[in-house]
Structure 1
């Protein structure tokens, strides 16, 4: 009799499953989705209750054929894609392709790829969850309706190749709104005054002026500060009041997806995308010397802080035996979830607390170790005793008019902070060590220090703070954050500069057009409510078709109005307050294939164009063109000298025989771009590899002396030869399954080197 078949989502899970159930089951992988909406058409019949037309994904024909082959005579199929909405959709599409009379399908949810987790899933099979599938369908259709019907408008009105997304556009709006707040911000001067004081015994300490005449201090300028300093010059500093208290501080709960992403970004300098890729690998299984791969963490897409009682008990046992009984709890600590949180999965935790980071270090890559260490410590700390902290605030009177204050704290019992220091989890600054003093004690004044400050605008969003903002506003779901952050950069709507998001000119243009024409779609509250509605579909409280009907009735009206009313900036550009230096007419910002530039509205009579700069306040200024009249080389077409000029796309060489000869070249003989420090691998070529952009804005790598050398690669070359086939270079690759690695570019050679 044919064995039952288990179908998982990721091929990397197969080894882990075979380790535990390989003799009893056949195992296959779908490698993600096998069906989707068609690429070139909407794929949704709006008039027939939004019925979707699914097609097999083009690249999955071999996968589908293999699944059919393995399932040929199988009576029972266990559907084991990831335990979330996307996994449920994959399960339903597999059922659709493999349906057969008398064949039975079971849905199993593997929350951790361990012997225990796999056995529990197989012992408690479920029916496929139609409501969860409907929720995924609703999200997919909403995203398709928005993306496929707004994007063509952007092609017509702005530039070809642009796209809009139901959630990504809201993320861009949040970034644009913050940038405008920064530009409007008016810096104000203020001063602080600090007294360096000494009691009878060291240490000395600094106290800040907090009140004048019993009112909160506000010092606007240097004169006010100087007047206060004169008053304080003869003042006696006396301890007025001492406030002391002991607080008990609880640890944070184990990680949910969004908090893991934020911490990994801030502490490990990982991107959200990298965090999820590394976590996926830890979940799917790694060889740790136990006879096959083993899942090291629970499922990494979770909004829940719930943990299994046996995992909590194991943590108590580990803490007592290893860290110390005084750090353990009499009974495990459990955390309450926030309202509306889906509780299908546990929090992200190690599958075994006894797999300490140090024990596994030799089996993990550096990135895997760092992330596992973070997850392990957070979980163990969540089950440790409270920290006990003595806090003291000293209020100091300087004449009846001035009140100074200083605070300090001492850790009385470290508790969980012994493993997971508090200052990594809070915004508290290191506090001072304070002397033992009593009320009425006179203090010696060592120095009084005035300091000038200026108010700062709100900060730009980093990856971590944007994830936090999306989470706070209920925009998207933790599993989508990494994709959102990647897409808005890839589309050119924002740039990540020194780890902070800055909207591009294109981002502002597209955002403003969408906000004016689709206020609901770009409304933060509306988008958050849609997430709640999708949750209601998953719970069976709302019909998928009802959600789509309610959304589309207003969206269609906006779409029809936008086709007529959306302002076209294609060819016209965006107005500025600058005048053309050649003819005096207005300059507009135009969008070209290679970016944005200033162009005269008097074209074609006036052909002035220029690069431009925009300062912190958003003011646009012309970048003076560079003309170097020094002869660089002779023109290959007419023989006349070529000189260096600067155009809207950077420096280039131009023939002095213009307009009779219009030959141009880039300064380095090819296109401009960033040199990556790798020699061109072509034989006898003296060029280097530079990073460039294609006409569609996609990054590729080519030789610096193009067109004399035509070497080009979509993957980043590395100056390292292949040990198997002697290829002069390798290329960098990154996949969800394998993470980052080097690969030989020779298709007949399968060499890989994992980093």
Structure 2
């Protein structure tokens, strides 16, 4: 309903936007619903809880001059559009419009370029649904008989459980090994009055020109002897190396990387992240009517539209200066051949909608996630960071041994 309201805001009075509230048909719960002897043909029913809505849609469809299906652009959305055609008993196939973001230009462009239902996506969704049912309905009762009643199996759940079990077995057979490393707190002798500011840590690297064993020294008594021998000793810098390195920005978010980053930054579970992203995608009222703030959040593509790249460049030049924008856009390619490049990565619909400027219209958590998406996208189109790395080698001579320390800045 939120998505329908936002789309309505961009269309005139000649359009009526109605929400289907998700899937209108599904496999029956009371039986398998798949003819395994006839090419795995599924039998669909209209669930009781959605029948009232379907009847309402049928009535509206009969009175409409034209029907345009605007469900989400992924395989689930394509399947919903196909199922709607089946249940509404339409005389002719309606047009299908797709868009990556819910903004006025995107909706107008989608209306100008309608297409037919993509049956490849529909078949992909049906294949997934049929596999879900076959694995769940066939294996779960078997588990009840052989293991424990109430257990369940699933197309994704069962392989994921196996990965967890295998990792747990690796953990159980892992043998802990104690080892020690040694770091020295050093300060420059000539500037004792600035000692606190000049202190730095250096790690023991070599003893008598022999590297420490990996991962470290296993004998604690040996470490204590080294510590006693080095206590209060001075060191001499024998080498200084300076290197220039570049750090490139990460690509814009996909669904999985957004979920990972939001957990790392805010401890948002995947479900909460997707709920917040859905809200930002469907639209927020910024005082002049609702507008979608991010592109579609279910994607595995790193692709970015040419318009989005052009707008990002203009924003960076205007806001931060030309040196913070790339001369040519940075393009990211997905590694998998199965990625749908027609889709886009998750990005803000308009970089000029800066997080701080629209914070009052967002909840606390929506603001956090939007800021994360907005920052990641713009950073992906900024020049790489130039980093200077300094490495010091410090030799300390004790009574019996020579110790070489290494410090990196």
Q: TM-score, normalised by structure 2?
A: 0.92
Partner of 2:316: 319
Give the alignment's Cα RMSD to 1 decimal: 1.8
Counterpart in the other structure of 1:209: 204
Question: Which one of 295, 298, 301 corresponds to residue 295 of structure 2?
Answer: 298
User: In the alignment, what sits opposite 2:14?
Assistant: 24
SS in 2 for 1:391: strand
Write the deviation string for residues 470-510 of structure 1: whole angstroms up to 9, x where unpaired: xxxxxxxxxxxxxxxxxxxxxxxxxxxxxxxxxxxxxxxxx
Q: 1:137 maps to what in 2?
A: 126
2:350 to 349, 352, 365: 352
**Aligned-pair CA distance for 1:219:** 1.0
Gaps of 5+ in 1: 1-10, 409-755
Could you say which residue in structure 1 is the equivalent of 2:405?
A: 404
Deviation at 1:148, TM superposition (A): 0.5
Describe the shift of the 1:162–1:238 C-alpha distance in structure 2 as closer, same or farther (beyond 3 A). Answer: same
Partner residue of 1:277 out of 275, 282, 289: 275
Distance in structure 1 (CA, Å) of the matches to 2:314 and 2:325: 8
Whose helix fraction is larger, Structure 1's or Structure 2's? Answer: 2
Aligned to 1:473: none
Residue of structure 2 aligned with 1:38, choices 28, 36, 58 = 28
Contact 2:206 2:404 in 1 (8 A): yes
Structure 1 residue 374, shift from structure 2 partner: 0.9
- Cα drift, residue 47 of structure 1: 0.7
CA-to-partner distance for each residue in 1:327-366, whole Å, 9 max, x for gaps? 1222322222223222231111111111111111111111
> Which of the residues 328, 333, 337 maps onto 1:336?
333
* Counterpart for residue 42 of structure 2: 52
Q: CA deviation at 1:234?
A: 8.8
- 8 Å Cα contact 1:257/1:348 also seen in 2: yes
Which of 80, 99, 109 is the aligned partner of 1:120? 109
Alpha-carbon spacing, 1:228–1:108, altered in 2? closer, same or farther (3 Å): same
Distance 1:354 1:219, change over 3 A: same
SS in 1 for 2:94: strand
Check the 8 A contact 1:82/1:109 in 2, yes or no: yes
Secondary structure at the counterpart of residue 29 of structure 1: coil
In the alignment, which of 68, 89, 93 is matched to residue 79 of structure 2?
A: 89
Deviation at 1:12, TM superposition (A): 1.5
Cα distance, 1:220 vs. partner?
Answer: 0.8
Name the structure 1 match of 2:169: 180
Whole-Å separation in 2 of the counterparts to 1:234 and 1:73: 91
Alpha carbons 1:75, 1:104 under 8 Å: kept: no
Equivalent runs, 1:257-276 vs 2, <5 Å? 257-276=255-274
Please report how far the alpha carbon of residue 114 of structure 1 lies from its aligned counterpart in structure 2 after TM superposition: 0.5
Deviation, structure 1 residue 231? 4.8
- Note the C-alpha offset of 1:299: 0.2
* Contact map agreement 1:282 1:296 (CA 8 A) in 2: yes
Give SS of 1:177's match: helix
Cross-structure match for 2:251:
253
For residues 204 and 268 of structure 1, what CA distance do their matches in structure 2 show?
Answer: 33
Match 1:161 to one of 150, 159, 168: 150
Task: Give the distance between the partners of 2:45 and 2:232, measured in 1 at CA.
Answer: 85
TM-score of the two chains, using structure 1 as the length reference: 0.51
Separation (CA, whole Å) in 2 of partners of 1:238 and 1:302: 55
Residue 162 of structure 1: SS of its match in structure 2? coil
The alignment status of 1:195 with 2:179, answered yes or no, reads no
Q: Which has the larger radius of gyration?
A: 1
Deviation at residue 232 of structure 1 after TM alignment: 3.8
Deviations 1:192-237 (A, max 9, x none): 2122222344512111112234233331122211333355469652
Per-residue CA deviation, residues 154-180 of structure 1 (Å, 9 max, x unaligned), is 222333332111111222222233333
CA distance in 2, matches of 1:367, 1:130: 37
The answer to whether the 8 A contact 1:264-1:270 is kept is: yes
**CA distance 1:236–1:18, change in 2 (3 Å):** closer
Q: Measure the CA separation in 2 of the matches of 1:161 and 1:234.
A: 66
Q: Distance in 1 between matches of 2:12 and 2:171?
A: 59
Q: Distance in 2 between matches of 1:267 and 1:299?
A: 21
Asked whether the 8 Å contact 1:76–1:104 carries over to 2, the reply is: no
Closer, same or farther in 2 for the Cα pair 1:14/1:234, shift >3 Å? closer
Q: Hey, what's the Cα distance between the residues in 1 that align with 2:123 and 2:212?
A: 56
CA distance in structure 1 between the partners assigned to 2:210 and 2:28 by the alignment? 70
Q: Is the 8 A contact 2:184 2:201 kept in 1?
A: yes
1:356-406 deviations in Å (ceiling 9; x for gaps) = 111111111111111111111111111222211111111223347432111
Aligned pair partner of 2:239 in 230, 238, 241: 241
Flag the 1:75–1:104 CA change in 2: closer, same or farther, 3 A: farther
Residue pair 2:95, 2:116 contacting (<8 A) in 1 also: yes
Q: Which runs of structure 2 are paired with 1:729-748 in the superposition (5 Å)? A: none
Between the aligned partners of 1:236 and 1:263, the Cα distance in structure 2 is 44
Q: Distance in 2 between matches of 1:369 and 1:219?
A: 48
Partner of 2:140: 151
Q: Which has more strand, going by share of residues?
A: 1
In 2 relative to 1, CA 232–15 (structure 1 residues): closer, same or farther, beyond 3 Å?
same
**1:265–1:272 contact (8 Å) kept in structure 2:** yes
